[in-house]
């Protein structure tokens, strides 16, 4: 479970986060919505202990990444918006590398590799080197390496960017399976269709502040819009109008 309360972060004169608060429960997929520059990436980087926060509290299964970043990271599976792979390593070598970085031994890595290969259906690329992989194959490798150490919490930054329909469906199936297992999944995204189909909760942030955290239908009801996208635009638009 991930809880963020009254999170503040500024870079010089820019307030990237200005009192954001949200909560992502176990066994649920929580979508983090917001326009570009809303503070999503900054919030995620504070969650994995890469950036220090100015004020507020962060709690990942009772651990504060501000004071014990390594312990927090062990409980996180991370998929960043850029899928950086090592072109000269095979999928299996990628997984072994990240398993070792998480302190797993060889046998545990082999077992976990078999599991994620089953879950994501990637037996065909497990011993191929990454150069020449399609976007979908790259994403599978990135997701597999995020899942290898069986994290309780998953942080995904725009996971379906650049994916074709088949890969998107495969990813969706995998996320649903992980939710069944009780994973806490926090997903920053711009794709409303994804939110519609997957999300149990929606967090809308803009200008570093949380505008709303609720189930998708609550968001629609609150804004009076039928469509989630309209609801989002209405929420953001009005708020930004006030701020301006």
> Which CB, 151 or 216, lies closer to another protein?
151
Minimum CB separation of residue 142 from another protein in Å reads 8
Minimum gap (Å) between residue 141 Cβ and another protein: 11
Query: Cβ closer to another protein: 34 or 49?
Result: 49
Longest Cα–Cα distance of the chain, Å, equals 57
Q: What is the Cα–Cα distance from 243 to 238, expressed in whole angstroms?
A: 9
Q: Toward another protein, which CB reaches closer, 184 or 192?
A: 184
Cβ distance 42 to 9 under 8 Å? yes
- Measured from the Cβ of residue 58, the count of other Cβ atoms closer than 10 Å reads 20
Q: How far is the CB of 24 from another protein (least distance, A)?
A: 17
| Residue (101 or 176) nearer to another protein, CB | 101
Binding site for another protein (CB under 8 A): 11, 45, 48-52, 63, 67-71, 73-74, 76, 78, 80, 82-89, 93, 97-98, 100-103, 142
Q: Quote the DSSP letter at residue 129.
A: B
Q: How far is the CB of 149 from another protein (least distance, A)?
A: 9
Cβ proximity to another protein, 90 vs 196, nearer residue = 90
- For the chain, helix, strand, coil in percent to 5 are 40, 25, 30
Q: Which tokens hold the place of 212?
A: 């709303």
Shortest distance in whole angstroms from residue 182 CB to another protein: 21
Nearest approach, Cβ of residue 87 and another protein (Å): 8
Closest alpha carbon to 8 in 39, 41, 48, 35: 39
Say how far apart CA 244 and CA 222 lie, in whole Å.
Answer: 22
Return the closest-CA partner of residue 159 out of 198, 208, 207, 115.
198
**11 vs 123 by CB, closer to another protein:** 11
Note the residue count of the chain.
244
């Amino acid at each position: 479970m991930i809880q963020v309360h009254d999170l503040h972060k500024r870079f010089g004169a820019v307030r990237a986060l200005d009192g954001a608060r949200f909560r992502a429960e176990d066994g649920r997929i929580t979508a983090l919505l917001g326009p570009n520059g809303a503070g999503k990436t900054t919030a995620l980087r504070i969650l994995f202990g890469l950036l220090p926060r100015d004020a507020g509290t962060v709690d990942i299964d009772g651990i504060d990444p501000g004071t014990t970043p390594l312990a927090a990271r062990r409980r996180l599976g991370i998929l960043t918006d850029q899928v950086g792979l090592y072109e000269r390593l095979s999928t299996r070598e990628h997984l072994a590398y990240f398993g070792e970085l998480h302190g797993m031994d060889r046998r545990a890595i082999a077992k976990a590799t078999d599991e994620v290969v089953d879950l994501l259906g990637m037996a065909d690329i497990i011993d191929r080197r990454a150069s020449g992989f399609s976007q979908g194959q790259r994403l599978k490798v990135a997701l597999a390496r995020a899942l290898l150490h069986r994290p309780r919490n998953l942080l995904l930054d725009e996971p379906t960017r650049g994916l074709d329909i088949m890969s998107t469906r495969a990813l969706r199936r995998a996320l649903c399976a992980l939710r069944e297992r009780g994973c806490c999944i926090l997903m920053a995204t711009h794709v409303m269709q994804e939110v519609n189909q997957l999300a149990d909760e929606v967090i809308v942030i803009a200008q570093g502040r949380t505008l709303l955290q609720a189930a998708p239908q609550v968001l629609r009801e609150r804004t009076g819009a039928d469509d989630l996208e309209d609801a989002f635009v209405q929420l953001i638009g009005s708020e930004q109008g006030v701020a301006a």
